[in-house]
Structure 1
Amino acid sequence: MSAEGGTEGAILELVGARPMFDESGLTARRYDLRVMPGDCVLIEAREPERASLFADLCSGIVPLADGTARCMGLDWANLGEREACALRGRIGRISSRAPWIDFYGTHLNIMMPQLHHTRRPSTEIEGNALDLCRRFGLPGLPTLPPGRLSDTDLARSACVRAFMGAPSLLLLEDPVTGEPPDLYSTFLREITASRERGTSVVWFSAAPERFRDYRPFASQRFRLMEEGLFSMHDRRGTS
């Protein structure tokens, strides 16, 4: 146990975390979750907006009325802006809110989180993005604005942005729907490879059938509802 009462080694830990409802929009329930390195947590969330708010909570964006939210052992409430930005640079995210800026080309949208949250050289970031684009089925870095890409290429670009920089934590809100098949299979392959390197994954979906191929490999399963976060039966026998 750490000095603050958390478990050492957890990538993400919520302990009695109760958000401020007026500021976040998330139900002011207490949330408890512990995600260790290499874990994959599947969360069924029928309302995408609730999943996004919960991911915000995990990212230290939602202020707490009580309890703690830690990422990589650091309490979000104790971090200054610079430290919080650096920590978010270790998180890859696909958001259902589709935070694309159409004023910029998609390539800048992909690289912007790494340019903003890290000190990696721009040439290294660009090389990382190009490699991931090819792995996810894009011929290169797409320079068109996001609004001019097909839905499939935008989904591929979202995956590229999330996996940039070998993140320690992936927060994925309905990242792929199963089509096209090559994107879905690449996504599962990249998740598995990332987990083998120690990356933790929290995968949200409004349609639990999208977990179908990965459910046996999950560490924990939950359902996120207005009443809170509820554990479901998983391979470890948690219920």
Structure 2
Amino acid sequence: MNEPDLLVELENVSVPGSPWFDVGLSDVSFRLRPGDWIAVRLEPGATHCPLADAISGLIPVEQGRLRYLGKAWEEVSSREADRMRSTLGRVFEQTNWISNLDIDENILLSQRYHTQRPESEIREEADRLARNFGFDQLPGIRPAHLTTSDLVRLSWVRALLGSPRLLLLERPARECTPVWRDRLMTEVAAACARGAAALWLTDDPATWAGLQHKAVLLFALNDSTMTPVPKP
């Protein structure tokens, strides 16, 4: 029987390794409820793992049970899957932008498509998030004209926009200074305080040190196995 407040449930989930990932998943189990924040330490050289894709329903699990919002991805229609994914905020391992759209168009796209919010309201929220991460406002230029650090920080805006129920953050602080990394941690903590849940993956020792004092649960991913790590 599903718990009504459970956002994510993985029970003995395995995903095989593939050319698209550095490592697979073997017998992974954990749960995320509103307010939970899980940090996962990745091994150097094995940073691209299938965990976020599996939780998003983008790849199937080989064995075990995975549910998001109480539902298994393989049991829902494509329309329902679209609706479920609209409640996710994600920073991808590789920042993916539509090259022939300006950055503001990229960032606002999901909220325009999935919600009935007024355009002015969406843009006001996006501009506020952009200012928090060092921009005067949401840039209206093509992704190719921005630095890697700019694009990473703007991917945070895209992930946080619209108060998502679950944040999937794949090494989100790469290419950024500690000041901006800490600012992101503050925003994620605030989102969790409002009832979101977060999963943060990192291979950076300094980031991991900060996460140890902020995340509720800590894991290490080694050779496809996720092992609990005691909090300091």
Same fold (TM over 0.5): yes
1:137 is aligned to 2:143: no
Maintained 8 Å contact 2:95/2:151: no
For 1:42, give the aligned amino acid.
A
1:153 is aligned to 2:158: no
Q: Distance in 2 between matches of 1:216 and 1:178?
A: 22
Who is 2:97 aligned against?
Answer: 100
Structure 2 unaligned spans of 5+: none
Count of aligned positions = 229
Q: Deviations over 1:48-79 (max 9, x none)?
A: 211xx211011111112332211122222211
Describe how 1:105-124 pairs up with structure 2 within 5 A. Answer: 105-124=102-121
Q: Distance in 2 between matches of 1:84 and 1:170?
A: 17
Q: Distance in 1 between matches of 2:134 and 2:153?
A: 7
Answer with 116-125 or 149-158: which moved more.
116-125
Structure 1 unaligned spans of 5+: none
Maintained 8 Å contact 2:41/2:208: no
- Identify the match of residue 195 of structure 2 among 190, 194, 198: 198
Who is 2:81 aligned against?
Answer: 84
Given the superposition, is the C-alpha separation of residues 160 and 117 from structure 1 closer, same or farther in structure 2, using an over 3 Å criterion? same
Who is 1:71 aligned against?
Answer: 68
Who is 1:13 aligned against?
Answer: 9
Q: Cα offset for 1:112?
A: 2.0
Answer with 78-87 or 129-138: which moved more.
129-138
| Identity of matched residues, % | 28
| CA root-mean-square deviation | 2.3
Q: Distance in 2 between matches of 1:10 and 1:96?
A: 25
Who is 1:168 aligned against?
Answer: 165
Q: Distance in 2 between matches of 1:11 and 1:208?
A: 28
Q: Distance in 1 between matches of 2:147 and 2:17?
A: 36
- TM-score (norm: length of structure 1): 0.86
Answer with 207-216 or 37-46: which moved more.
207-216
- TM-score (norm: length of structure 2): 0.88
